[in-house]
Structure 1
Amino acid sequence: MKPEIFLPDDYRPAEDEPFMNDRQLEYFRRKLMNWKHELLAQSAETLEGLADSARSVPDVADRASEETDRALELRTRDRQRKLVVKIDAALRRIDEGEFGYCEKTGEPISLKRLDARPIATMTLEAQERHERRERVHRDD
């Protein structure tokens, strides 16, 4: 088991320290875990809200409005579920020593990108190339 790493509350990964050192990895691990806990708490609230709203509404317009709200909640919940899967994958990459490196090029992903989107698996350039190729193939 690894010793616990001390991180000051104001710690932010910096370009002038070794890339993906223990402090940076711990920073991203905590960031991902906090995000995951937030999403799971929101999911629990969504499920409670859906259970509460499952009552029968006699007015057709009210019922339609409520069904639209439920559909939106379920779409949001599905997006959150997919995010939790990506967060778990990022946490696994941290454990395996692969976090922070592009899955396409092997190059380091910028700290700014990782801080904004810690589930990123590609550098910005590789992601843009990937999206351009996707658009081209989608248009075929």
Structure 2
Amino acid sequence: MPDVPSEKALLAMSESDYMDAAQQAFFRDRLLALAKDCEQELADARQALQTPPQSDPLDAAADEEACRHQLRFLARRQVLLGKIRQALRRLNQGDYGYCQISGEPIGLRRLLARPTTEYCAEVKTRLEANERHYAHS
């Protein structure tokens, strides 16, 4: 198994090293850590939802609102966990780091900012413009 570079060392690598074994190891570690954190947050949120509130009936509305927030948080985290798992699958298949539409490299800086991204910046910008266009139609 290759040594896992630091983020600084990763950014100092040449373009010819893009998605070599060391960079793949770096992103695998990062994605696994994100998945672990996400799974822990989901478990904590589920536990909080299972614990019945010990408040007085007048606080029921506040408890219900807090429950709604927790459910939205759970839904967002569940989606994120799915994206992390998809990114790990792409990494295992050798597709990670490359745009799913153009096939161009996504770039290290973009992957560091959003390790689950599937698209290079140009394609993502075009997709968002299309979404805005169709949303207003």
Same topology, TM > 0.5 = yes
Gaps of 5+ in 1: none
Gaps of 5+ in 2: none
State the distance in 2 between where 1:99 and 1:122 align. Answer: 10
Q: Give the CA deviation at 1:50.
A: 1.1
Q: For residue 36 of structure 2, what is the amino acid of its counterpart? A: H
State the distance in 2 between where 1:137 and 1:23 align. Answer: 41
Q: Say whether residues 1:117 and 2:114 are aligned partners.
A: yes
Question: Between the two proteins, what is the percent identity of the paired residues?
Answer: 30
Q: Say whether residues 1:35 and 2:34 are aligned partners.
A: yes
Q: Give the CA deviation at 1:10.
A: 6.0
Q: Say whether residues 1:81 and 2:78 are aligned partners.
A: yes
TM-score (norm 1): 0.89
Query: Match for residue 65 of structure 1?
Result: 62
Aligned partner (choices 2, 7, 15) of residue 5 of structure 1: 2
More helix as a share of residues: 2
Q: For residue 69 of structure 1, what is the amino acid of its counterpart? A: A
TM-score (norm 2): 0.91
- Change beyond 3 A, Cα 1:123–1:29: same
State the distance in 1 between where 2:8 and 2:24 align. Answer: 12
Q: For residue 21 of structure 1, what is the amino acid of its counterpart? A: D
